Structure 1
């Protein structure tokens, strides 16, 4: 097993956020972590986190998007690279490896994915997905672009079209 070494420890420690999806994990995050993480825009998780003592701590949301100039191609990319997304966390947490994920997601349909993950060049769809997290009470939202081959183009588009709209 490889060893890990920390050569230069920060004086104040490193803030740690904990992913949560329900009452137990929200309470753990509130008590032990410096912030909350969620990949679902669930206002109830934020509320549970706050009620358990997390009020005032940062809440990080992770919104998946699949940007590209052709929505049909983006939808195909989702099926190829992100088809496990509709499974809930209770299922995903129990899957031991890639073969299990493949089996659990074999019946995922393109339209199921596109209903929850914005696809294509329409900036309004991506902003709507972002706003679901803001409306749920998240203080920080990260975009996750599905598709390694399209990262550079996504970042250029985000700088040119998405970020100005979010900041405006």
Structure 2
């Protein structure tokens, strides 16, 4: 049985409300949680973007859940700072914190004013950041000159066990590369054939025996039309495949790009239904692909109805798989 986690979307819900939501999620029966780490939302309609690292300390203290965060070191964040932040959380909450590392999106990274590199350079930069962070977790004093620069950095507060560094990938090519350095893989819901290719590539690249996680976007409401409308209103700016989603810079750019997205298009990237039993079937099928954890993201801004219904009518069935 995979763990069933709750995804906290900082782009859509203010931090105080999101903290209440993750407490509700634990009470409802979710096994774990993870969150995004954005500087801006994907759309002006979403309208939020709290600082994930402040929130994580509060969320770990308020619950007993293990937590992950999706992060992109290298441009907006210096890898030594992220290593320090991760080490501190792992020291305070042993065994409960992991990081999913990716190469980033211009929507967050452009704020530094530095040039947004091409994908190959971003991957190489991420690889350097991973090496730097692992050396810091090992207690080394690190000097590094490359796509990132580090000068005599040392972590003075370190946990007994460093946080897991999970690789984020949405394509087989990236998944294979991630398999060579990551402690696990996280990807997003796609057609089953595409997910199988990503899993196989990760394992072929060196990820055999390592955990694999899936973040699933879904929209639940009491009736079918409301579920579809929620997905369309909140998530139509998030339906674009790379490189579009990597390279647009501002919420208004995503809003402009999504002007011609139709309601029916939302089914390609979001699981939409008013029937809890339908989600049991869909999520059970994802679990059958071999994922060790499913992290559920309800794309609406109101979280409590989703948490309550899933806690009562979905999670108990999934936990019997």
Same fold (TM over 0.5): yes
TM-score, normalised by the number of residues in structure 1:
0.88
Gaps of 5+ in 2: 1-75, 92-157
Higher relative contact order (CA 8 A, sep 6+): 1
Question: After the TM superposition, which residues 77-88 of structure 1 pair with which residues of structure 2 at under 5 Å, given as runs?
Answer: 77-88=230-241
Q: Secondary structure of 2:260's partner?
A: coil
Per the alignment, residue 14 of structure 1 pairs with 163
- The runs of 4+ residues in structure 1 deviating greater than 6 Å are none
Q: Secondary structure of 2:295's partner?
A: strand
CA offset at residue 2 of structure 1? 9.3
Per the alignment, residue 167 of structure 1 pairs with 319
CA contact (8 A) 1:85 1:113 kept: no
Correspondence for 2:218 among 65, 84, 88: 65
Q: Residues of 2 paired with 1:120 and 1:53: CA distance?
A: 37
Q: Residues of 2 paired with 1:40 and 1:31: CA distance?
A: 22
Structure with greater helix percent: 1
Q: Does 1:101 find its partner at 2:254?
A: yes
Q: Residues of 2 paired with 1:117 and 1:27: CA distance?
A: 25
CA offset at residue 116 of structure 1? 4.3
Gaps of 5+ in 1: none
Deviates more, 1:14-23 or 1:3-12: 3-12
Correspondence for 1:156 among 305, 308, 313: 308
The root-mean-square deviation of aligned C-alpha atoms, in Å, is: 2.2
Q: Secondary structure of 2:199's partner?
A: helix
Deviates more, 1:114-123 or 1:87-96: 114-123
CA offset at residue 90 of structure 1? 2.4
Residue 103 and residue 29 in structure 1: after superposition, are their counterparts in 2 closer, same or farther (change >3 A)? same
User: Highest CA radius of gyration, 1 or 2?
Assistant: 2
Structure with greater strand percent: 2
CA contact (8 A) 2:277 2:313 kept: no
CA contact (8 A) 2:227 2:274 kept: no
Q: Does 1:127 find its partner at 2:280?
A: yes
TM-score, normalised by the number of residues in structure 2:
0.48
CA contact (8 A) 1:43 1:137 kept: no
In the alignment of these two chains, the number of paired residues is 167
